[in-house]
Amino acid sequence: MGNYTFKGKAAVSVAAIAALALSGCANVGGGGDENGGGEGEGQEGGVVTVAETNAFTAVNNATAATNLDINGKIANATREGFIYVNPAQEIVPNEGFGSYEKTSDDPLTVEYTLNDPEWSDGNAIDKADIILWWSILSGYHNDEDAEAETGTKYFNIAGSTDIMGKTDKPEFSEDGKSFTITYEEPQSDWEIAFDNDYLQPAHVVAEQAGMTEDELLKTLEDSPEGNPEDPQERPELEEIGKTWAEAFQFSDKPEDESLLVSNGPYKINDIVENNSVTLVKNDSYTGDNAGKLDEITVRTIGDATAQIQALRNGEVDIMAPGNVNKDTIDQVNELDNVEVIQGGQLAYDHLDLNFGADTFEDQAVREAFLKTVPRQQIVDQLIKPVNDEASVLNSQMWVTSQKEYGKTTEENQAEDLYGDVDIDGAKELLDGKTPTVRILYNNENPLRVDTFQLIKESAEQAGFKVEDLGDPNWSEKLADGDYDASLFGWVSPGVGTEMLSQIFKTGGGGNYTKYSNPEVDKLTDEARSNLDKDARDEQIVQIDKHTFEDGYGLPLFQSPGFFGVSDQIDGVTEYQPNQDGVFWNVWEWSRK
């Protein structure tokens, strides 16, 4: 699955079609009070150890190469912005960082005020940080023409620039503590525009890029808007973008500890490659969500059985497994002094076809392959033992636990097109051809291994030759495109419509399959600027319908999941179904 985080404002529910994130796991979930997990009764201080499935690879999780769930969870403890999202998928303001207010509808105008936030090295979050943040999210300076292979995309982000791309440069107050964002047109996701994942310290980026913070600020302020029809050489901008993307990417502790500065309740103290990340309380934190613990150790334990053993032995206090089956839940339920917090994740496993590969240029071949995918068998054998109410997922837009799901399945024809395996129909479409399909997936994830095997066995009955491209480094290869199909999952932050641009729009940051449909692009733009939720939902339904008609790929199932939590831990009381997982309210954690 995956990892991406978008946030917004107070207790207002927003459509759960936000930017998504890669992962290697599965999970499902429920409500919560407006302000978080509630005040725990635990003590100040102490240490908590968490078992997570995937290995940490970067402080900056907002690039295509680093957009992993575990990177986002660590970022959730070390980065904060204007909002966060609670388990009810409500946007909650974080006024300890700053506040914001919509001051006009026409044009849409939002005023932000910083509440003197600081980085952990004492450097204030100021105008340079905001301008860098906005430049990344807006794509203002980009002048790339991908088709002509000219110009430059200065900040190569995992998401899209559709929200901030419709804004003017921020206008700052004289003291620099307030700034105003003005939109060129309505934007349904304006409350979550400043995504925490894209916030990195401007003073550190500047130093790593060989310039001062003032020089970085001047470069970003003075550089004109990018023009793809007349691209310019801008080496300073290129160096800033390259540094932002690469300097914070490491899987063990860097020698330069300035790369570890934090503005969240915790900061990184140590990293052991493929093993653990140690967080310590950020004593310089100035916001409202100060951490209670002295230290949090996040251990990489890929096998759920090993996580259970570690929980049983007291080696970890919380387990958040990526692979969930009935045996796992039963074993954890049998542990003394452990609570199981179970639910349905805002995540889904899916099989995507690569439109950039020769194999699937022909729609008939795409349709033939999809007709062979044994989705019901996958659900029956792999998911129902965990959740006996599980069903085949028939939407690329919503998961089964969301209220919008029923509306889209009435119209998108997914059940009619691919409801049952149709080997004879696939053979007829192939007309004697025997295409080779190379499938990329995580072969260290047993659920994905079993899913791949079931797909392979079925497809080969129709004449396909299926090659196993299973790789533990699957996520690093998604953007390369050297495969015919990919099998993985997305995890949603639960708010916003960023997913539409990220995955399904031509050139989207997470559109690894090179899918392109002009009508989908048009509907995406319209939906993202539509302030009427009912009308916006109908546009999203139409996008969903197009993906099935085009043979984009197939959703498989909503991912089941749970947390196992020692009864010695306070603050972990609700299932968070989005990509933040158990870390959504990390500042509330404490020991009893």
> What is the model's pTM?
0.78
In the chain, how long is the greatest CA-to-CA distance? 72
**Half-sphere exposure of residue 189: CA atoms within 13 angstroms, side-chain side:** 34
DSSP track, 404-422: THHHHHHHS-HHHHHSS--
pLDDT at 163 over 60: yes
DSSP 285-299: --SS-----SEEEEE
* pLDDT for residue 8 is more than 50: no
Tokens at 358, concatenated: 């020769």
List of long-range contacts for 153-157, beta carbons under 8 Å, 24+ apart: 153/241, 154/226, 154/234, 154/237, 154/238, 154/240, 154/241, 155/241, 155/244, 155/245, 156/63, 156/64, 156/241, 156/245, 156/509, 157/62, 157/63, 157/64, 157/198, 157/509
Question: Distance between alpha carbon 471 and the CA centroid of its chain, in Å?
Answer: 21
- Structural domains in the chain, CATH included, are 347-491+501-513+552-559 (3.10.105.10)
- Select from 436, 439, 434 the least CA-distant residue to 482: 439
Average pLDDT over residues 253-281: 98
Paired with 284 in beta bridges are none
Task: Report the run of H or E that residue 220 belongs to, with start and end.
Answer: helix 213-222
Query: Which amino acid, residue 38?
Result: G
Does the pLDDT at position 577 exceed 90? no
Flag the least confident range among 141-150, 217-226, 268-277.
141-150
Compute the distance between CA of residue 230 and CA of residue 72 in angstroms, rounded to an integer: 36
Q: Which residues make Cβ contacts (< 8 Å) with residue 519, sequence separation at least 6?
A: 546
CB 76 within 8 A of CB 589: no
Q: 291: exposed, middle or buried (C-beta count within 10 Å: 0-12, 13-18, 19+)?
A: buried
Q: Residue 22: which of 8, 1, 38 has the closest Cα?
A: 1
The pLDDT of residue 339: 94
Q: How far is CA 350 from the centre of its chain?
A: 15
Q: What residue type is assigned to position 413 of the chain?
A: Q
- The 10s digit of each residue's pLDDT in 386-433 is 888 899 999 999 988 888 899 999 999 999 999 999 999 999 999 999
Higher pLDDT pick, 507 / 271: 271
pLDDT higher than threshold 90 for residue 446? no
Q: Confidence class of residue 379 from pLDDT cuts 50, 70 and 90?
A: very high
pLDDT tens-digit readout, 303-353: 889 999 999 999 999 998 876 777 888 899 999 999 999 888 888 999 999
User: Would you state the pLDDT for residue 362?
Assistant: 96
Q: How far is CA 17 from the centre of its chain?
A: 11
CA distances from 84 to 11, 21, 61 (A): 10, 16, 17
Give the confidence band of 21 by pLDDT, cuts at 50, 70, 90.
low
CA distances from 163 to 182, 504, 515 (A): 11, 16, 21
For residues 317 and 299, is the Cβ–Cβ distance under 8 A? no
Compute the average pLDDT of residues 184-203. Answer: 93
Instruction: Check pLDDT > 90 for residue 552.
Output: yes
pLDDT tier at 22 (50, 70, 90 boundaries)? Answer: low
pLDDT digits (tens, 9 = 90+) for 502-531: 899 998 888 999 999 999 999 999 998 888
How far apart CA 507 and CA 503 sit, in angstroms, is 9
Q: Answer positive or negative: Cα dihedral of 212, 217, 222, 223.
A: positive
Rounded percentage of the chain residues whose pLDDT exceeds 70: 92
Which residues have C-beta within 8 Å of that of residue 502, sequence separation ≥ 6?
4, 19, 20, 158, 159, 160, 508, 509, 510, 511
Q: Within 13 Å and on the Cβ side, how many CA atoms surround 316?
A: 23
266 vs 281: CA distance, rounded Å? 5
Q: Are 467 and 459 within 8 A, CB to CB?
A: no
Instruction: Write the CB contacts of 5 (distance below 8 Å, at least 6 apart in sequence).
Output: 19, 21, 72, 75, 76, 195, 196, 197, 493, 579, 580
pLDDT of residue 464 exceeding 60, the answer is yes
Q: What value does the mean pLDDT take over residues 274-302?
A: 97
Query: Number of helices and strands (H, E) in the chain?
Result: 17, 19
Token pair for residue 17?
């079609």
Structure tokens belonging to residue 456: 């392979």
81: CB partners within 8 A, 6+ apart: 7, 94, 97, 98, 194, 195, 196, 199
Name the burial class of residue 111, with classes exposed (0-12), middle (13-18) and buried (19+) by CB atoms within 10 angstroms of its CB.
middle
Mean pLDDT over the full length of the chain:
90
Enumerate long-range contacts of 174-178, CB under 8 Å, 24 or more apart: 176/126, 176/127, 177/113, 177/114, 177/116, 178/111, 178/112, 178/113, 178/114
The token duo for 577 is 């179904």
CB 348 within 8 A of CB 405: no
Query: Among 1-5, 410-414, 488-492, 516-520, which range has the highest average pLDDT?
Result: 516-520
The neighbour count for residue 15, using CB atoms within 10 Å, is 22
Q: Which of 207-221, 326-340, 548-562 has the highest mean pLDDT?
A: 207-221
> Above 80 in pLDDT, residue 6?
no
Bridge partners of 268, per DSSP, are 279
Strand 83-85, strand 569-570: pairing: unpaired
Compute the distance between CA of residue 84 and CA of residue 509 in angstroms, rounded to an integer.
23
